[in-house]
Amino acid sequence: MEILEKAHELLEANPLCDHCLGRQFALLGYGLDDQQRGETLKLLLTMKNHQLALSGKKVGFSNLRLLASNGSFGMAAEILQNMRKRARKKKECYLCQGLFKSVDTLVENALKTLEEYEYTTFLVGIELPTTVEEREDEFKARFEIAYGESMRNEFSRDIGKKIATATQKPAEYRKPDVVVLVRPFTGEIILQSNPLYVRGAYKKLVRGIPQSMWLCRSCGGRGCPKCDDTGKQYLESVEEIIAGPILEKTEGESVSFHAAGREDVDARMLGTGRPFVMEIKKPRKRFLDLPSLTELVNKQAKGKVEVSNLSPASKDDVRRLKRGEGAQKMYKVFIDFDREVSDEELATVAKTLTKASIRQQTPLRVLHRRADLIREKYIYEAHLKRLAPNRAEMKIRCQGGLYIKELVSGDEGRTIPSVASLLNVEAKPLELDVLKVIMEEK
Protein backbone atom coordinates (compact mmCIF):
# COMPACT_ATOMS: atom_id res chain seq x y z
CA MET A 1 0.00 0.00 0.00
CA GLU A 2 1.33 3.44 -0.93
CA ILE A 3 2.01 6.01 1.78
CA LEU A 4 -0.91 8.27 0.84
CA GLU A 5 -3.29 5.32 0.72
CA LYS A 6 -2.07 4.24 4.16
CA ALA A 7 -2.50 7.74 5.56
CA HIS A 8 -6.04 7.89 4.15
CA GLU A 9 -6.83 4.50 5.71
CA LEU A 10 -5.65 5.69 9.13
CA LEU A 11 -7.67 8.92 8.96
CA GLU A 12 -10.74 7.07 7.75
CA ALA A 13 -10.62 4.84 10.82
CA ASN A 14 -9.81 7.42 13.52
CA PRO A 15 -9.31 11.17 13.99
CA LEU A 16 -5.57 11.92 14.05
CA CYS A 17 -3.68 15.17 14.63
CA ASP A 18 -0.63 16.06 12.54
CA HIS A 19 1.71 14.59 15.18
CA CYS A 20 -0.06 11.27 15.53
CA LEU A 21 -0.50 10.76 11.79
CA GLY A 22 3.09 11.72 11.00
CA ARG A 23 4.41 9.52 13.81
CA GLN A 24 3.19 6.40 11.99
CA PHE A 25 5.76 7.21 9.26
CA ALA A 26 8.54 8.49 11.56
CA LEU A 27 11.25 6.29 10.04
CA LEU A 28 10.68 7.62 6.54
CA GLY A 29 12.60 10.70 5.44
CA TYR A 30 15.09 12.93 7.24
CA GLY A 31 15.04 16.46 8.58
CA LEU A 32 11.32 16.38 9.39
CA ASP A 33 9.54 16.11 12.69
CA ASP A 34 6.37 14.07 13.06
CA GLN A 35 4.12 17.13 12.93
CA GLN A 36 5.65 18.14 9.59
CA ARG A 37 5.22 14.62 8.24
CA GLY A 38 1.56 14.54 9.25
CA GLU A 39 0.87 18.01 7.88
CA THR A 40 2.59 17.13 4.59
CA LEU A 41 0.55 13.94 4.19
CA LYS A 42 -2.69 15.82 4.86
CA LEU A 43 -1.66 18.54 2.39
CA LEU A 44 -0.98 16.00 -0.35
CA LEU A 45 -4.26 14.22 0.34
CA THR A 46 -6.08 17.55 0.28
CA MET A 47 -4.53 18.54 -3.06
CA LYS A 48 -5.35 15.15 -4.55
CA ASN A 49 -8.97 15.27 -3.41
CA HIS A 50 -9.35 18.94 -4.36
CA GLN A 51 -8.45 17.87 -7.89
CA LEU A 52 -11.09 15.12 -7.75
CA ALA A 53 -13.69 17.56 -6.40
CA LEU A 54 -12.93 20.06 -9.17
CA SER A 55 -13.53 17.21 -11.62
CA GLY A 56 -16.97 16.79 -10.08
CA LYS A 57 -16.24 13.48 -8.41
CA LYS A 58 -18.15 12.96 -5.16
CA VAL A 59 -15.32 10.98 -3.57
CA GLY A 60 -13.22 14.14 -3.63
CA PHE A 61 -15.79 16.04 -1.52
CA SER A 62 -16.20 13.05 0.79
CA ASN A 63 -12.47 12.80 1.41
CA LEU A 64 -12.14 16.57 1.95
CA ARG A 65 -14.83 16.32 4.64
CA LEU A 66 -12.84 13.46 6.20
CA LEU A 67 -9.66 15.56 6.20
CA ALA A 68 -11.51 18.53 7.71
CA SER A 69 -13.03 16.45 10.53
CA ASN A 70 -10.79 13.45 11.30
CA GLY A 71 -7.70 15.33 10.15
CA SER A 72 -8.64 18.71 11.66
CA PHE A 73 -7.04 20.13 8.52
CA GLY A 74 -8.00 23.76 7.99
CA MET A 75 -7.19 23.89 4.26
CA ALA A 76 -9.65 21.08 3.53
CA ALA A 77 -12.38 22.96 5.40
CA GLU A 78 -11.59 26.19 3.49
CA ILE A 79 -11.77 24.42 0.12
CA LEU A 80 -15.18 22.99 1.00
CA GLN A 81 -16.37 26.42 2.12
CA ASN A 82 -15.14 28.05 -1.08
CA MET A 83 -16.95 25.37 -3.07
CA ARG A 84 -20.11 26.05 -1.02
CA LYS A 85 -19.97 22.65 0.65
CA ARG A 86 -20.45 22.05 4.34
CA ALA A 87 -17.44 20.77 6.32
CA ARG A 88 -17.80 18.46 9.29
CA LYS A 89 -16.81 19.50 12.79
CA LYS A 90 -13.20 18.88 13.85
CA LYS A 91 -12.74 15.80 16.04
CA GLU A 92 -10.30 15.22 18.88
CA CYS A 93 -7.27 13.06 18.08
CA TYR A 94 -7.91 9.42 18.91
CA LEU A 95 -4.37 8.77 20.17
CA CYS A 96 -3.11 11.89 21.99
CA GLN A 97 -6.46 13.59 22.66
CA GLY A 98 -4.95 16.84 21.43
CA LEU A 99 -2.24 17.00 24.07
CA PHE A 100 0.60 17.76 21.66
CA LYS A 101 -0.85 21.27 21.65
CA SER A 102 0.25 21.56 25.28
CA VAL A 103 3.95 20.87 24.62
CA ASP A 104 4.94 24.55 24.92
CA THR A 105 3.14 24.84 28.25
CA LEU A 106 4.83 21.68 29.51
CA VAL A 107 8.20 23.05 28.44
CA GLU A 108 7.52 26.37 30.16
CA ASN A 109 6.64 24.60 33.42
CA ALA A 110 9.68 22.34 33.13
CA LEU A 111 11.96 25.36 32.69
CA LYS A 112 10.50 26.98 35.81
CA THR A 113 11.23 23.81 37.79
CA LEU A 114 14.76 23.60 36.39
CA GLU A 115 15.51 27.16 37.53
CA GLU A 116 15.81 25.85 41.09
CA TYR A 117 18.68 23.50 40.20
CA GLU A 118 22.26 23.68 39.00
CA TYR A 119 23.03 21.18 36.25
CA THR A 120 25.12 20.69 33.15
CA THR A 121 23.16 17.96 31.38
CA PHE A 122 19.57 16.77 31.46
CA LEU A 123 17.28 14.06 30.16
CA VAL A 124 13.53 14.14 29.56
CA GLY A 125 11.46 11.17 30.66
CA ILE A 126 7.82 10.70 29.67
CA GLU A 127 5.20 8.88 31.70
CA LEU A 128 1.96 8.02 29.91
CA PRO A 129 -1.18 6.36 31.26
CA THR A 130 -1.29 2.63 30.61
CA THR A 131 -4.57 3.00 28.71
CA VAL A 132 -2.97 5.47 26.29
CA GLU A 133 -0.01 3.20 25.55
CA GLU A 134 -2.26 0.18 25.15
CA ARG A 135 -4.49 2.12 22.73
CA GLU A 136 -1.46 3.11 20.65
CA ASP A 137 -0.14 -0.47 20.62
CA GLU A 138 -3.51 -1.79 19.49
CA PHE A 139 -3.69 0.89 16.78
CA LYS A 140 -0.25 -0.03 15.42
CA ALA A 141 -1.07 -3.72 15.40
CA ARG A 142 -4.44 -3.20 13.71
CA PHE A 143 -2.95 -1.18 10.85
CA GLU A 144 0.38 -3.02 10.70
CA ILE A 145 2.44 0.12 11.22
CA ALA A 146 5.98 -0.69 10.07
CA TYR A 147 7.72 2.70 10.09
CA GLY A 148 6.33 4.39 13.19
CA GLU A 149 7.65 5.37 16.60
CA SER A 150 6.01 5.64 20.01
CA MET A 151 4.17 8.63 21.42
CA ARG A 152 6.58 8.49 24.36
CA ASN A 153 9.54 9.00 22.01
CA GLU A 154 7.93 11.93 20.22
CA PHE A 155 6.98 13.74 23.42
CA SER A 156 10.46 13.16 24.84
CA ARG A 157 12.25 14.40 21.73
CA ASP A 158 10.05 17.46 21.19
CA ILE A 159 10.20 18.59 24.81
CA GLY A 160 13.91 17.78 25.07
CA LYS A 161 14.78 19.85 22.00
CA LYS A 162 12.87 22.85 23.29
CA ILE A 163 14.51 22.65 26.72
CA ALA A 164 17.96 22.31 25.13
CA THR A 165 17.33 25.38 22.98
CA ALA A 166 16.05 27.43 25.91
CA THR A 167 18.82 26.45 28.34
CA GLN A 168 21.70 25.91 25.92
CA LYS A 169 22.42 22.68 27.78
CA PRO A 170 22.74 19.29 26.08
CA ALA A 171 20.61 16.23 26.64
CA GLU A 172 22.63 13.32 28.06
CA TYR A 173 21.23 9.80 27.79
CA ARG A 174 23.67 7.84 29.96
CA LYS A 175 24.46 9.94 33.02
CA PRO A 176 22.38 13.13 33.11
CA ASP A 177 22.63 15.47 36.09
CA VAL A 178 18.85 15.84 36.20
CA VAL A 179 15.88 13.99 34.74
CA VAL A 180 12.75 15.96 33.90
CA LEU A 181 9.83 13.54 34.21
CA VAL A 182 6.83 14.85 32.28
CA ARG A 183 3.30 13.48 32.52
CA PRO A 184 1.56 15.09 29.52
CA PHE A 185 -1.91 13.78 30.37
CA THR A 186 -1.91 15.35 33.85
CA GLY A 187 0.48 18.25 33.23
CA GLU A 188 2.74 17.18 36.09
CA ILE A 189 6.46 17.96 36.00
CA ILE A 190 8.68 15.99 38.39
CA LEU A 191 12.38 16.77 38.56
CA GLN A 192 14.78 14.04 39.62
CA SER A 193 18.22 15.31 40.57
CA ASN A 194 20.69 12.47 40.22
CA PRO A 195 23.41 11.96 42.84
CA LEU A 196 26.47 14.18 42.94
CA TYR A 197 29.75 12.49 43.82
CA VAL A 198 32.73 14.08 45.56
CA ARG A 199 35.85 12.10 46.42
CA GLY A 200 38.76 12.79 48.71
CA ALA A 201 40.65 11.39 51.68
CA TYR A 202 40.01 11.86 55.38
CA LYS A 203 42.16 11.67 58.46
CA LYS A 204 40.59 10.95 61.83
CA LEU A 205 42.79 12.69 64.36
CA VAL A 206 41.02 11.69 67.57
CA ARG A 207 39.75 8.44 69.02
CA GLY A 208 36.19 7.63 69.97
CA ILE A 209 34.47 8.58 66.71
CA PRO A 210 32.95 5.92 64.42
CA GLN A 211 33.23 6.22 60.66
CA SER A 212 29.45 6.22 60.18
CA MET A 213 26.52 6.88 62.47
CA TRP A 214 25.72 4.07 64.91
CA LEU A 215 22.17 3.68 66.13
CA CYS A 216 21.75 3.42 69.88
CA ARG A 217 22.06 -0.23 70.95
CA SER A 218 19.32 0.18 73.53
CA CYS A 219 16.58 1.79 71.45
CA GLY A 220 17.63 1.08 67.86
CA GLY A 221 17.50 4.76 66.95
CA ARG A 222 14.10 5.63 68.43
CA GLY A 223 15.56 7.72 71.25
CA CYS A 224 15.84 6.78 74.92
CA PRO A 225 17.38 8.03 78.21
CA LYS A 226 20.63 6.15 77.52
CA CYS A 227 21.27 8.11 74.31
CA ASP A 228 19.67 11.35 75.55
CA ASP A 229 16.94 10.82 72.95
CA THR A 230 19.42 11.26 70.08
CA GLY A 231 18.93 7.72 68.82
CA LYS A 232 22.71 7.50 68.36
CA GLN A 233 25.35 5.41 70.12
CA TYR A 234 27.92 8.15 69.48
CA LEU A 235 27.15 11.85 69.21
CA GLU A 236 29.03 12.26 65.93
CA SER A 237 30.78 10.30 63.21
CA VAL A 238 33.31 10.94 60.46
CA GLU A 239 30.49 10.73 57.92
CA GLU A 240 28.36 13.33 59.72
CA ILE A 241 31.28 15.70 60.27
CA ILE A 242 32.17 15.67 56.56
CA ALA A 243 28.60 15.52 55.27
CA GLY A 244 27.29 18.52 57.20
CA PRO A 245 29.05 21.28 55.22
CA ILE A 246 28.68 19.38 51.95
CA LEU A 247 24.92 19.04 52.38
CA GLU A 248 24.74 22.71 53.28
CA LYS A 249 26.53 23.78 50.09
CA THR A 250 24.76 21.35 47.74
CA GLU A 251 21.33 21.66 49.38
CA GLY A 252 21.14 17.89 49.10
CA GLU A 253 18.60 15.69 50.82
CA SER A 254 20.94 13.06 52.28
CA VAL A 255 24.29 11.37 51.71
CA SER A 256 25.80 7.92 51.38
CA PHE A 257 29.38 7.66 52.58
CA HIS A 258 31.63 5.19 50.76
CA ALA A 259 35.15 4.53 52.06
CA ALA A 260 38.02 2.14 51.38
CA GLY A 261 37.42 0.11 54.53
CA ARG A 262 36.92 1.46 58.03
CA GLU A 263 38.93 1.90 61.20
CA ASP A 264 37.76 0.99 64.70
CA VAL A 265 36.02 3.63 66.78
CA ASP A 266 39.04 3.88 69.11
CA ALA A 267 41.59 3.97 66.27
CA ARG A 268 42.95 7.02 64.49
CA MET A 269 43.32 7.32 60.72
CA LEU A 270 46.58 9.12 59.99
CA GLY A 271 49.08 9.41 57.13
CA THR A 272 47.63 10.52 53.82
CA GLY A 273 44.13 9.58 54.95
CA ARG A 274 41.52 7.04 53.91
CA PRO A 275 40.02 7.44 50.41
CA PHE A 276 36.28 8.10 50.37
CA VAL A 277 33.49 9.10 48.02
CA MET A 278 30.56 11.16 49.26
CA GLU A 279 27.34 10.49 47.34
CA ILE A 280 24.95 13.43 47.72
CA LYS A 281 21.31 12.54 47.05
CA LYS A 282 19.00 14.99 45.27
CA PRO A 283 21.35 18.01 45.24
CA ARG A 284 20.10 21.40 44.08
CA LYS A 285 23.60 22.86 43.75
CA ARG A 286 26.36 21.12 41.79
CA PHE A 287 28.89 23.80 40.99
CA LEU A 288 31.12 23.61 44.07
CA ASP A 289 34.24 25.54 45.00
CA LEU A 290 36.03 22.46 46.31
CA PRO A 291 39.07 24.25 47.86
CA SER A 292 36.68 26.47 49.85
CA LEU A 293 34.56 23.44 50.75
CA THR A 294 37.69 21.67 52.02
CA GLU A 295 38.45 24.64 54.27
CA LEU A 296 34.87 24.74 55.54
CA VAL A 297 34.79 21.02 56.39
CA ASN A 298 38.12 21.20 58.21
CA LYS A 299 37.12 24.35 60.09
CA GLN A 300 33.85 22.85 61.30
CA ALA A 301 35.58 19.55 62.17
CA LYS A 302 37.57 21.41 64.86
CA GLY A 303 40.63 19.18 64.66
CA LYS A 304 38.75 15.91 64.92
CA VAL A 305 38.68 15.11 61.20
CA GLU A 306 40.60 16.53 58.27
CA VAL A 307 39.78 16.10 54.57
CA SER A 308 42.04 16.66 51.57
CA ASN A 309 42.09 16.35 47.78
CA LEU A 310 38.36 16.92 47.28
CA SER A 311 37.53 16.49 43.60
CA PRO A 312 34.57 15.59 41.36
CA ALA A 313 33.78 11.88 41.20
CA SER A 314 31.32 9.43 39.69
CA LYS A 315 29.58 6.17 40.50
CA ASP A 316 32.51 4.40 38.84
CA ASP A 317 34.73 5.76 41.61
CA VAL A 318 32.44 4.16 44.19
CA ARG A 319 32.81 0.81 42.43
CA ARG A 320 36.59 1.19 42.33
CA LEU A 321 36.60 2.10 46.00
CA LYS A 322 34.56 -0.98 46.92
CA ARG A 323 36.88 -3.18 44.89
CA GLY A 324 39.77 -1.64 46.81
CA GLU A 325 38.41 -2.40 50.30
CA GLY A 326 40.95 -5.22 50.49
CA ALA A 327 43.81 -2.84 49.66
CA GLN A 328 46.98 -3.05 51.68
CA LYS A 329 46.94 -1.21 54.99
CA MET A 330 49.72 -0.05 57.30
CA TYR A 331 49.08 -0.01 61.05
CA LYS A 332 50.81 0.95 64.26
CA VAL A 333 49.68 -0.55 67.56
CA PHE A 334 51.03 -0.32 71.10
CA ILE A 335 50.98 -3.62 73.00
CA ASP A 336 51.10 -4.47 76.71
CA PHE A 337 52.31 -7.93 77.80
CA ASP A 338 51.69 -9.71 81.11
CA ARG A 339 55.44 -10.32 81.47
CA GLU A 340 58.70 -8.81 80.31
CA VAL A 341 59.73 -9.58 76.74
CA SER A 342 63.15 -9.33 75.15
CA ASP A 343 64.29 -7.71 71.94
CA GLU A 344 65.20 -11.15 70.63
CA GLU A 345 61.69 -12.49 71.25
CA LEU A 346 60.14 -9.53 69.47
CA ALA A 347 62.53 -9.96 66.53
CA THR A 348 61.49 -13.61 66.25
CA VAL A 349 57.79 -12.65 66.25
CA ALA A 350 58.38 -10.02 63.56
CA LYS A 351 60.23 -12.55 61.40
CA THR A 352 57.48 -15.15 61.85
CA LEU A 353 54.68 -12.72 60.99
CA THR A 354 56.42 -11.26 57.93
CA LYS A 355 55.07 -12.95 54.78
CA ALA A 356 52.72 -15.03 56.92
CA SER A 357 49.12 -16.03 56.24
CA ILE A 358 46.87 -15.42 59.22
CA ARG A 359 43.88 -17.69 59.81
CA GLN A 360 41.28 -15.51 61.46
CA GLN A 361 37.81 -16.46 62.60
CA THR A 362 35.32 -13.61 62.93
CA PRO A 363 36.31 -11.78 66.15
CA LEU A 364 34.09 -12.23 69.17
CA ARG A 365 33.63 -8.46 69.47
CA VAL A 366 31.95 -8.19 66.04
CA LEU A 367 30.25 -11.57 65.98
CA HIS A 368 26.89 -9.96 66.74
CA ARG A 369 26.96 -8.14 63.39
CA ARG A 370 29.23 -10.26 61.17
CA ALA A 371 28.89 -13.83 59.91
CA ASP A 372 31.02 -16.37 61.79
CA LEU A 373 33.52 -17.19 59.05
CA ILE A 374 37.18 -18.12 58.82
CA ARG A 375 39.25 -15.80 56.65
CA GLU A 376 42.88 -15.89 55.62
CA LYS A 377 44.79 -12.61 55.39
CA TYR A 378 48.38 -11.96 54.43
CA ILE A 379 51.01 -9.91 56.25
CA TYR A 380 53.62 -8.38 53.96
CA GLU A 381 55.93 -7.15 56.70
CA ALA A 382 55.96 -6.72 60.46
CA HIS A 383 58.28 -4.78 62.79
CA LEU A 384 58.23 -4.83 66.59
CA LYS A 385 60.16 -2.45 68.86
CA ARG A 386 60.41 -2.75 72.64
CA LEU A 387 59.41 0.47 74.44
CA ALA A 388 59.52 -0.86 78.00
CA PRO A 389 60.10 -4.27 79.62
CA ASN A 390 56.48 -5.28 79.01
CA ARG A 391 55.46 -2.89 76.25
CA ALA A 392 56.14 -2.80 72.50
CA GLU A 393 55.20 -1.00 69.33
CA MET A 394 54.25 -3.04 66.28
CA LYS A 395 54.07 -1.70 62.73
CA ILE A 396 52.72 -3.96 60.01
CA ARG A 397 51.75 -3.80 56.36
CA CYS A 398 49.02 -6.29 55.59
CA GLN A 399 46.10 -7.24 53.41
CA GLY A 400 42.95 -5.23 54.08
CA GLY A 401 40.41 -6.90 56.32
CA LEU A 402 42.89 -8.25 58.88
CA TYR A 403 41.72 -7.55 62.43
CA ILE A 404 44.79 -6.06 64.12
CA LYS A 405 43.60 -6.19 67.73
CA GLU A 406 42.92 -9.89 67.40
CA LEU A 407 46.28 -10.40 65.69
CA VAL A 408 47.75 -9.08 68.94
CA SER A 409 45.55 -10.85 71.49
CA GLY A 410 44.72 -14.09 69.67
CA ASP A 411 41.02 -13.64 70.48
CA GLU A 412 40.81 -16.85 72.55
CA GLY A 413 42.47 -18.85 69.81
CA ARG A 414 40.32 -17.58 66.96
CA THR A 415 43.31 -15.85 65.29
CA ILE A 416 46.28 -18.09 64.44
CA PRO A 417 49.12 -17.23 64.73
CA SER A 418 49.00 -14.17 66.96
CA VAL A 419 51.54 -12.12 68.87
CA ALA A 420 50.19 -13.62 72.10
CA SER A 421 50.48 -17.22 70.89
CA LEU A 422 53.96 -16.74 69.45
CA LEU A 423 55.25 -15.30 72.74
CA ASN A 424 53.07 -17.53 74.93
CA VAL A 425 51.85 -14.48 76.84
CA GLU A 426 48.74 -12.44 77.29
CA ALA A 427 49.01 -9.50 74.91
CA LYS A 428 46.71 -6.50 75.04
CA PRO A 429 46.41 -3.94 72.22
CA LEU A 430 46.41 -0.41 73.64
CA GLU A 431 46.29 2.25 70.93
CA LEU A 432 45.80 1.50 67.24
CA ASP A 433 46.52 3.86 64.36
CA VAL A 434 46.03 3.34 60.65
CA LEU A 435 49.09 4.84 59.00
CA LYS A 436 48.30 4.32 55.34
CA VAL A 437 45.75 2.87 52.93
CA ILE A 438 47.56 1.68 49.82
CA MET A 439 45.11 1.72 46.92
CA GLU A 440 45.96 0.08 43.62
CA GLU A 441 46.43 2.43 40.68
CA LYS A 442 43.46 2.74 38.31
Whole-angstrom Cα distance, residue 145 to residue 186?
A: 28
d(CA 155, CA 138): 19
Of 269, 271, 263, which Cα lies nearest the Cα of 404? 263
Q: How far apart are CA 69 and CA 63, in angstroms?
A: 10
* H helix or E strand, kind and range, residue 21: helix 18-22
CB 154 within 8 A of CB 23: yes
Give dist(CA 410, CA 112) in Å, integer: 63
Contacts of 94 (CB under 8 A, 6+ apart): 14, 15, 16, 20, 135, 139
Catalytic residue selected from 18, 264, 317, 433: 264
Rounded CA-CA distance 41/18 in Å is 9
How far apart CA 48 and CA 405 sit, in angstroms, is 90
Helices 34-54 & 74-82 angle (0-180, nearest 10): 20
Residue 258: phi, psi to the nearest 5?
-115, 130
Cis ω before 184 (30° cut-off from 0): no
Catalytic, 264? Answer yes
DSSP string, 84-143: T-PPPPP---TTTTTGGGGHHHHHHHHHHHHTTS--S-EEEEE---HHHHHHHHHHHHHT
Rounded CA separation 250/282 (Å): 9
309-318 core/surface letters (b: 16 or more CB in 10 A; e: else): ebeebeeebb
Q: Using DSSP, state whether 71 is helix, strand or coil.
A: coil
| End-to-end Cα distance, the chain | 58
Q: How far apart are CA 143 and CA 192, in angstroms?
A: 37
**Which residue in 25, 40, 47, 189 sits closest to 122, CA to CA?**
189
Q: What is the rounded distance in angstroms from the CA atom of residue 266 to the CA atom of residue 282?
A: 33
Active site residues: 264
